[in-house]
């Protein structure tokens, strides 16, 4: 599958560091729980966490979104749930990309019922052109066009997650 570079590693690192500083400022004096949505956000979350200068707990969620490789159906199932209660905690959901918004809106609603003290969303990428459910992203890395993005944790058929930069899958004719 041919790919083309989209955002280089240095640009990503600068943006992620800035998001970490922003979160640090916003939650000064508070403990937070970051909740990376596996698998796509594992690289972003690991880098982001290291730029947050607070007491940070990490807990993971795994979701399955029914649909084919490039389309999410909107039916989301939590396949691995949090290991601890988030009641009374300041929680930040960490996503790799908000595409239609179906996954993150489902998770936001689900975690919202668990009485967190606050619940925010961080996403490395957003594809606003594909929005089906509008979601407010509190900490956003980059906005992208309607392209399929891989690298820095994001996959195409489980490949490219280990790419240190963001790239676009091309059809090969481009």
| CA distance linking residue 93 with residue 123, whole number of Å | 8
| 45 to 25, 67, 75: CA distances (angstroms) | 18, 25, 24
Do 62 and 78 contact (CB within 8 A), yes or no? yes
Binding part of the chain for ligand IMP, among 2-10, 24-32, 46-54, 144-152 by CB under 6 A, reads 144-152
CA distance 130 to 79: 25
Nearer to ligand IMP, 27 or 97 (CB): 97
Q: Least distance in Å: CB of 161 to Mg ion?
A: 11
Q: What is d(CA 80, CA 61) in angstroms, rounded to the nearest whole number?
A: 6
For the chain, what is the radius of gyration of the CA atoms?
Answer: 16
Catalytic annotation, pick one of 14, 55, 81, 99: 99
Classify residue 24 by burial, with Cβ atoms within 10 Å: 0-12, 13-18, 19+: middle
Place of tokens 């880098």: 47
Q: Confirm whether 99 is a catalytic residue.
A: yes
Which residues 38-67 are close enough to bind ligand IMP by CB under 6 A?
Answer: 40, 65
- Asked if residue 3 binds ligand IMP (CB under 6 A), the reply is no
Contacts with Mg ion in 11-50 (CB under 5 A)?
Answer: 40
CB 60 within 8 A of CB 38: yes
- Convert residues 62-101 into a mask of x (bound to Mg ion by CB under 5 A) and - (unbound): ----------------------------------x-----
- Quick check: 72 binds ligand IMP (CB under 6 A)? yes
| Smallest distance, ligand IMP to C-beta of residue 53, A | 27
CB 101 within 8 A of CB 134: yes
Element (H, E) at 108: helix 102-112
- Residue number of the CB closest to Mg ion reads 40
Q: Is 160 in the site for ligand IMP (CB under 6 A)?
A: no
Pick the piece of the chain touching ligand IMP (CB under 6 A) from 4-12, 42-50, 77-85, 142-150: 142-150
Residues in contact with ligand IMP by the rule CB under 6 A: 40, 65, 72, 95-104, 148-150, 154
Q: Which residues form the catalytic set? A: 99
């Amino acid at each position: 599958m041919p790919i083309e570079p989209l955002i280089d590693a240095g640009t990503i690192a600068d943006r992620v560091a800035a998001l970490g500083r922003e979160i640090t400022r916003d939650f000064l004096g508070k403990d937070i729980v970051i909740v990376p949505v596996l698998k796509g956000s594992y690289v972003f979350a690991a880098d982001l966490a290291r730029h947050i200068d607070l007491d940070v707990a990490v807990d993971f969620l795994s979701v399955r979104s029914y649909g084919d490789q490039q389309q999410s159906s909107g039916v989301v199932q939590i396949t691995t749930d949090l290991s601890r209660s988030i009641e009374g905690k300041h929680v930040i959901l960490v996503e790799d990309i908000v595409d239609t918004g179906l996954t993150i809106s489902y998770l936001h609603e689900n975690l919202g019922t668990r009485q967190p003290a606050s619940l925010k969303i961080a996403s490395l990428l957003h594809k606003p052109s594909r929005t089906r459910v509008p979601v407010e992203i509190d900490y956003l890395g980059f906005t992208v066009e309607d392209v399929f993005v891989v690298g820095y944790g994001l996959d195409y058929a489980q490949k490219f997650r280990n790419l240190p930069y963001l790239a676009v899958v091309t059809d090969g004719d481009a």
